[in-house]
Chains A and B, each alone.
Chain A
Amino acid sequence: MLWYKSWLETRWRFLIGLALLLCSAGAMVLTYPRLQALLSHIPEPQLGGALGERVREAIELSREYRGFVWAQGFSQNLAQLGTLFAVLLGTGGLLSGGAALFTLSLPATRRDLLRVRAAAGLAEWLLLALVPSLLISLMSPVIGESYGVVTALAHGLCLFVAGAVFFSLAMLLSTLFTDVWRPLLTAIAIAAFLALLEQLAPRDGGWGIYRVMSGESYFRSGAMPWAGLAASAAASVALLYAAAVNLERRDF
């Protein structure tokens, strides 16, 4: 029944997230033909420096469908929206629900409560990461393109594992603060700060959580970012463990 409680508490966040991510993925696929037409009329940009290089790269990537889906979807829209909903799914829980004493009066350990909540949230996050990715494969024939299911699943997996770090961070923060807003805003601020750091970092080197999330190495070379995925999974486990320890030592 703790599963049921977790579902009731997070279902709207999950369903809204699923709807938005599906709309985002669907709209992206449907706009590709118009973008293609537009690109044929755009002259080569004359911008110099790193910015110019990025703009040129984005245009080049968009000339090909697979590149467009990666640049627009997995490294932007789905990553950004996904991060937001991973954080949203991780917030809330025992401290902010307003019925903590009733929950704690049940014959379940605090670790059980956290374990079920984490598992339910991660299951929802897995669906948020995979279903919109698969929609891209399903909808691509509509515009006369194709996008492999395996490729979609690979990117969805990267999105899930790296995004789980933000989910776990939000869960940890939710065991530190008694309201919903501070964990939510703090986690989003940390996510934005990491994104900024990656933007400033050299493009051809280093590890970044958003690079893992977008599956950049898989897109460019076909190699899954196993080290990054393992590091993300380890970070998630560590954050969830810290959340469990913190929850156990708390007074209510």
Chain B
Amino acid sequence: MADPLVIETSDLRKRYGAAEALRGLALAVPKGSIFGFLGRNGAGKTTTIKILLGMAHASGGDARVFGLPAGSPAAGVEIRRRTGFAGEEKDLYDYMTVAEIVRFTAAFYPRWRRDLEQRYRRAFDLPADRKVKALSRGMRTKLALLLALSRGAELLVLDEPTSGLDPAASEEVLQALVSHVGSEEMTVFFSSHQIADVEQIADRIAIVDRGRTVVAGSLDDMRASYRRIQFVFAGDAPEMTFRAPGVVRTHRQGRVWSVLASGGADAIVEEARALHPVSVDVMPVALKDIFLETVAAED
């Protein structure tokens, strides 16, 4: 039996005046997964997170977290009680000290994990008596993460968790996340445009572009099924339209036809052989290429 879904959206729409931020977004985040939500800047990632946590109202469609409607104020309280969140800007209360904001946040969560709070305070070297406004960007991110991880949450929602961090701080944050998820039973939903981050920790991904999901699934399945197929012809590559399913994007230049396939590479190769290419290469594809090609295919 499939894992129950922690987050589920269907035909989710959001309009800001004349601009459409979400255009029928569909998501299914199974329980226990580490779900990377990839997209370019402005693709709709933050808007989706805001709708899921009741910070913005959907213009249409459905969004559910733990099976509860995200748009309902009462359900929203329950969703947020079971969810840890760290936003992209890591905006916290500048006028509080580290100890004050930890105490303040802990008061809202009956399942607050004092042990994790202590552990991350030590691991992140966060000075208890320092004002939040005096923290560096990296320290602020770590504090935001501490506040999210210690909530005893079943779901962790992180919006660009490593945004603005140097590589060392970014690695430290990712390692903390991986180690946390390894020891706690929880679902992680994080947005990013850092493909390396997603590859490092996610087991499932969705690529969103212009408010729509363009690719979604298990990262391992994607790695296994996505292929780049290159046909080289003796002369100029002939014009052709592939009928085989799974063709994401094709590109013809001179003697070379390049095809990105989401599956069914054998059928595509078979179809192209009728045109007698002089060579055929079928290669695995990195997530970065899948991302770039699927997003480019939408342009």
Contact = CB atoms under 8 A, between A and B. Distances in A.
A97 B147 CA distance: 19
A105 B73 contact: no
Contacts of B83: 105
Interface in B45-97: 50, 53-57, 73-74, 76-78, 80-81, 83, 85, 87, 89, 91-96
A97 B93 contact: yes
B10 to A, nearest CB: 20
B91 A248 contact: no
Interface residues of A, number: 23
Nearest to B148: A105
Contacts of A249: 57
Contacts of B118: none
Nearest to A1: B107
A249 B107 CA distance: 27
A104 B54 contact: yes
A6 to B, nearest CB: 11
B77 A107 contact: yes
A100 interface: yes
Nearest to A107: B81
A101 B87 contact: yes
Interface stretch (A17-25, A35-43, A54-62, A108-116): A108-116
Given A106-B80, A107-B80, A101 B104 contact: no
Interface residues of B, number: 33
A203 interface: no
B53 A105 contact: yes
B233 interface: no
Given A4-B104, A251-B56, A251-B57, A107 B95 contact: no
Contacts of B53: 104-105
A9 B94 CA distance: 10
A102 B55 contact: no
Contact of A8 (B54, B96, B108): B96
B73 A101 contact: no
B109 A109 contact: no
Contacts of B107: 1
B94 A106 contact: no
A36 B89 CA distance: 61
Interface of B: 16, 50, 53-57, 73-74, 76-78, 80-81, 83, 85, 87, 89, 91-96, 100, 103-105, 107-109, 144, 147
12 contacts: A1-B107, A4-B104, A5-B104, A97-B93, A99-B94, A101-B50, A105-B87, A107-B81, A108-B77, A248-B73, A251-B16, A251-B56
